[in-house]
Chains A and B, each alone.
Chain A
């Protein structure tokens, strides 16, 4: 086992209220519906295999990705396909399965001693292959590729990120087993962890890469740039800690079990804390939701999460739910006021002089200004911790110059790496959307 320690200087920990205290409520029994949310899987096109009204077993294939037909999605529970919720252009926004309480399930054989190809095919059939993603581009891994390494990403530094040492404490056995399976896929398995979590993860048979510093220190792009730079010809795979546990459970019990813990965070939450749920559960099971549009329900964190609405479901790659107020209000001459109560990292508001660094603030979804031409990037670029020239790359994407995008490092980035820049952008440009567009272009081109 090796230990690599990384430090990131650039970045920002946004002082948002609503951290989850370390108490877990088990609400698995109360969950009647789970859903697969296609928006969780960028650059995919999900098509149903099982139609609405069909009975399905736990572990039965219900959807597949039309862009990569090997990639399949399975039902986490035994039940009935309740509803295929569609949005604009008949795009699926949620594939809802209602639990029937029975124990019908598919059996899988998975062990670290199997062939690599056998393991891969079991993971594909069990739907768990979707847990393994690849860089560049953050899409579900292509099974025929050989990755340089597999990264288990337990270094979430996003605002109000859940504590993995707390969540995984009771799942060590399955986690360990999952690592064994991953090692059969690639001998190099690394766990990325926050510096303070090193001790916990040292117990497992994998390399540790620890990060220190403000968000986005824990982002995989930063870690890869330091430990395994990505370009056109090489790939790495990555997987989230809970999914390692899921894989471990298949090996241990022969069946899928998507039970996991998520953190309920954010300034507009009533019952902060950790909740034991089934992956894909509805948000209103962990917190009563209001439907008057006054609150925003986010699967994930405030910088990169998905706005799923009060009747939405928790995404596959999210271990956190954040609730904040919607900011639909006018503010009279707001831009000219001294701003004693307005948190801003910029130094343009007096709050900077008044509060200690430990003070936490309420945040809402107001844009705080109108969209403007992209000027003064130095005010926001300072929150990107990668060795790239962010605004040059963004401009290359805006003008769709593929050659420049390649040269300026499109293979090394994900939209999440620009989330803080987007937060601080005075021109209010949706930078993550631009980066995602660049990535989509690259996928199409390759």
Chain B
């Protein structure tokens, strides 16, 4: 341990101001605090501080994402082998998915990480942990066959224009991971939607079972036919399949079960906001229920509770809407913010089937309105304070 510490101290010396390696200073600091919790003590204010820091908090979110990620690997393999008609074991499916996911993850962390380091160095700050979660979220909300160069562009766009230009971690208005996806969605629509992109190997079409369809459930509903929802081979899909996640979709978003395990981790640790999660589901459910009552087409008639199982709804509710930087900050505001996200997600999904990913657009929309929601609530609070004062003054 001492030799490790010495090595780092050595690195510090080499990256001092004025030395040629100074441009790596912020990275050395980051490496140091990654390996060792610093020996800094409190200098002002409370003499004791909690063990929880931003690193720990971000680690908790990453851990909460692991079930959805691992299930995503499995489902990637599962869908692929279903399309090629090969026999496979669970291990093979997992391994296949892992190998598909790994390059995406490396590109995401690599490109985003380098940009973070550059900006940290420019600002003379230590590289912080903000990108740890974003870098994992981005590949999880991509179609599995997204080209790596495209992912790299999406990541670069999101980190620079959604985050760093606003001032970095904690200052951004929009969720960077969703901006990356939205950017690619509008820049390269053929790669981000349709019935081919969700299953690995389907776009180049080699070795695929005849007549196999890779359409998502929302895609099928959007086409308007009243036929039953089927998987690629034409077998019906049960609600249990949707809950478990054995359906086509972005890598990490399909399994509601795995996402709920993540939600439990976020809620037990207190990192995720239960107010937001609960109200997103409530808003979505009530909106879908309203459409159920009106009826008219398969999307409107799709059972409300099943709406919450498909597409990016659950993933968005648990991991995206709860982004602590871009959500509403006031407690009352969180309820409004979450409820409207749920409502708009279903509204967009149902009334505009060209954008089956209503969740992404809905969260970005509400990211924009979150400050307004907070403003209204804080103004109300200010009025209440004024009233309390004037009452008090009358009494005295």
Contacts and interface: CB of A to CB of B under 8 A. Distances in A.
Q: Pick the most buried of B33, B39, B129: most chain A CB atoms within 10 A of its CB.
A: B39
B188 interface: no
Contacts of B35: 332-333
Nearest to B37: A334
Contact of B50 (A228, A322, A345, A372): A345
B20 interface: no
Contacts of A234: 392-393, 396
B294 interface: no
Contact of B389 (A229, A370, A392, A432): A229
A431 B49 CA distance: 12
Task: Give the contact-size bracket for chain A.
Answer: 35 or more
Contacts of B331: 378
Contacts of B269: 346-348
A201 interface: no
A424 B48 CA distance: 9
A269 to B, nearest CB: 14
Interface string A399-431: 000000001110000010001101111111011
A333 B52 CA distance: 13
B268 interface: yes
Interface centre among B43, B44, B50 (most CB of A within 10 A): B50
A391 B382 CA distance: 14
Contact of B52 (A336, A349, A374, A389): A349
A270 interface: no
Identify the interface centre among B33, B52, B53, B330: most chain A CB within 10 Å of its CB.
Answer: B52
A346 B36 CA distance: 21
B329 to A, nearest CB: 6
A346 B48 contact: no
Contacts of A388: 381
Interface stretch (B55-63, B81-89, B226-234, B301-309): B55-63
Interface in A9-66: 14, 16
A432 B49 CA distance: 13
B45 A329 contact: no
A366 B1 contact: no
A194 interface: no
B389 A368 contact: no
Contacts of A419: 45-46
Interface in B20-54: 33-54
A292 B382 CA distance: 50
A379 interface: yes
A388 B170 CA distance: 22
A345 B170 CA distance: 23
B52 A370 contact: no
A47 to B, nearest CB: 25
Interface stretch (A90-98, A249-257, A303-311, A313-321): A303-311
Contacts of B48: 14, 16, 302-303, 324, 363-365, 423
Interface string A326-367: 111111111110010011111111000000000000011111
Given A333-B35, A370-B38, A378-B273, A148 B52 contact: no
A231 interface: yes
Residue among A228, A367, A389 facing the most chain B CB atoms (10 A cut-off): A367
A443 interface: no
B378 A389 contact: yes
Contacts of B51: 334, 339, 342-344, 346, 348-349, 368
B5 interface: yes
A365 to B, nearest CB: 4
A378 B168 CA distance: 20
Given A348-B60, A377-B329, A365 B42 contact: yes
B103 interface: no
Contacts of B50: 344-346, 368, 423-426
Nearest to B383: A407
B270 interface: yes
Nearest to B1: A332
B271 interface: yes
Given A324-B48, A376-B324, A430-B44, A392 B378 contact: yes
A243 interface: no
A20 to B, nearest CB: 18
A367 B49 CA distance: 6
Contacts of A369: 33, 37-38, 49, 52-56
Interface of A: 14, 16, 148, 228-229, 231, 233-234, 296, 298, 302-305, 307, 322, 324, 326-336, 339, 342-349, 363-370, 372-379, 387-389, 391-392, 407-409, 415, 419-420, 422-428, 430-433
Given A296-B47, A335-B56, A342-B51, 20 more contacts: A229-B389, A302-B47, A304-B45, A322-B47, A333-B37, A335-B53, A346-B52, A347-B268, A347-B269, A349-B51, A365-B47, A366-B37, A366-B40, A370-B38, A370-B40, A375-B325, A407-B382, A420-B46, A432-B44, A432-B46
14 contacts: A330-B39, A332-B36, A343-B51, A346-B51, A346-B269, A365-B41, A367-B38, A369-B37, A370-B33, A372-B169, A373-B170, A375-B170, A408-B378, A423-B49
